[in-house]
Amino acid sequence: MRDFLPADVRRREYVIGVIKEVYERYGFEPLETPAVENIETLMGKYGEEGNQLIFKILKRGEHEKTGEADLALRYDLTVPLARVVAEYRDKLPKFFKRYQIQPVWRADRPARGRFREFYQCDVDILGSRSMLVEAEICAAASDVLTRLGFNDFAVRINHRHALTGVLQAAGVANEKHDLALIALDKLDKIGRSGVEKEFAERGIDAAAGVRLLDFFAALAGLDHAAEVAVGEDVSQKRRALNVAIIGRLVEFVGDNELGARGIDELRSILNFAEAEGIGSRIEIDPSLARGLSYYTGAIMEINVKDLPGSLGGGGRYDNLVGMFLGEAVPACGFSLGLERIIVVMTEREMFPNALLTSPADVMISLWDQTSRADSVALAHELREAALRVDLYPDADKIGKQFKYASAREIPFVAILGDDERARGEVALKDMRSGEQRSVKRESVAEEIRKKL
């Protein structure tokens, strides 16, 4: 678990501020739930491994001795959403669009870049099966990243039914689908012959395996064809590729009904994404799997080239949010990887400079005991003018005060010496240039603001 010192908090709040602003523009509303849930609400919802990673809280008072737990720390934001949906059904709109940015806790073994307390940052739209929802979710997440300064990301999209259709059309037995996908996922690392070997070990029909690998090999070939066709314009190339891939999918799944329906939905999402202005961001990727367990429709993931793993991911999961309600609630959601976004932005130096430096715009120094109250009054005036003002608390030597301001990267120091006070002026030192000059007291705020 981590402490966030001031510079860390500023970076985090900057990112969270952009996320909130963008999500609100898309009509999402904020939700917050308590850190602590009843233990029964969480147990059994995340598999056996999840059960072990949940932090459990002892009963209080005399029951503490029993060693029993009745509460637990929030493990994700989806189960609390499901609880809220069941608990406040009448108070929530039919299409509940919520965002939630809160910490979760997992008793993972601490490792580099992995923390036991970390923030999740989820948006979900409940209540509709329209593919508009998928497009809105992708557009909102893209918009967040664009506004943060990312310009090289792609939104990869696939559909669980399309995936099933492809596997069935290839002839992979239904019960082997998960195993086939795990092996297929290693194609880049172990090559075609490596995957074929794994298929054999996992008991996947050899001919089906070959058909599957041929299909994906042919898709990889489309990349070059698209470049030849439209040239190097990345946006146009992506659009051409998406159309070509959809064509190949239709061809390959043939009369597989589930697959055809999935592909239809992908086509809808693609059309709406174009209207959302993110057509050139989308990559239809028939190999995207995202751990199939609870997704029921489209799945998506956002990646940048130089980062293994994703900046976020999500999809449609129509059978989860209604778990405490006892009925299916259509839902589609996306989770931005806040911690990862911050890591990448720090590495790439994407944070605005002003954010990383100074805790104040100006520091008022303390000249001597007799002028102290006047220094306080100056601080008051400059704060009224909406500046961030620090006030040095002790009448230390002025050199020491300058050094302090300089170490904290405060750009200006104001000094109320006897001469300046007599003339109704303030000596203002620019700590970056070292230049110091007298300024009329009523112009100090303006003078500082001009040079910030």
Residues 335-394 that bind a copy of itself (CB under 8 A): 359-360, 363, 366, 372-374, 376-377, 379-380, 383-384, 386-394
Tracing tokens 């390959």 back to the chain, one arrives at: 252
The pair of structure tokens assigned to 24 is: 């609100």
The stretch near a copy of itself (CB under 8 A) out of 66-74, 165-173, 221-229, 443-451 is 66-74
Told to check if 267 binds a copy of itself by CB under 8 A, we report no
Told to check if 246 binds a copy of itself by CB under 8 A, we report no
- Residue 263 CB, nearest approach to a copy of itself (Å): 18
Told to check if 291 binds a copy of itself by CB under 8 A, we report no
16 or 179, CB closer to a copy of itself?
Answer: 16
60 or 189, CB closer to a copy of itself?
Answer: 60
The stretch near a copy of itself (CB under 8 A) out of 162-170, 232-240, 269-277, 415-423 is 269-277
CB count within 10 Å of CB 64 equals: 10
- Residue 147 CB, nearest approach to a copy of itself (Å): 11
8 or 214, CB closer to a copy of itself?
Answer: 8
Q: How far apart are CA 252 and CA 216, in angstroms?
A: 11
Residue 123 phi, psi dihedral angles, 5° rounding: -120, 145
Told to check if 32 binds a copy of itself by CB under 8 A, we report yes
Which residues in 392-451 contact a copy of itself (CB under 8 A)? Answer: 392-394, 404, 407-408
> H helices of 205-284, where?
206-230, 234-253, 257-275
Which residues in 105-124 contact a copy of itself (CB under 8 A)? Answer: 105, 107, 116-117
* Number of chain positions touching a copy of itself (CB under 8 A): 96
Given candidates 58, 86, 230, 350, which one binds a copy of itself under the rule CB under 8 A? 58
- Residue 54 CB, nearest approach to a copy of itself (Å): 9
Q: How far apart are CA 450 and CA 432, in angstroms?
A: 14
84 or 289, CB closer to a copy of itself?
Answer: 84
Told to check if 249 binds a copy of itself by CB under 8 A, we report no
Which residues in 74-93 contact a copy of itself (CB under 8 A)? Answer: 84, 87-88, 91-93
The stretch near a copy of itself (CB under 8 A) out of 55-63, 164-172, 205-213, 418-426 is 55-63
Residue 414's nearest CA partner among 402, 403, 423, 424 is 402
Largest CA distance in the chain: 95
Using an 8 Å Cβ cutoff, are 22 and 144 in contact?
Answer: yes
Long-range contacts of 428-436 (CB under 8 A, 24+ apart): 429/402, 431/402, 431/405, 431/406
Given candidates 15, 18, 42, 73, which one binds a copy of itself under the rule CB under 8 A? 73
Told to check if 319 binds a copy of itself by CB under 8 A, we report no
Cβ-Cβ contacts under 8 Å for 22 (sequence gap 6 or more): 140, 143, 144, 147
Provide the β-strand partners of residue 123: 99, 334
Residue 121's nearest CA partner among 92, 78, 154, 88 is 78
Told to check if 57 binds a copy of itself by CB under 8 A, we report yes
Residue 357's nearest CA partner among 401, 410, 405 is 410
Residue 270's nearest CA partner among 126, 134, 151 is 134
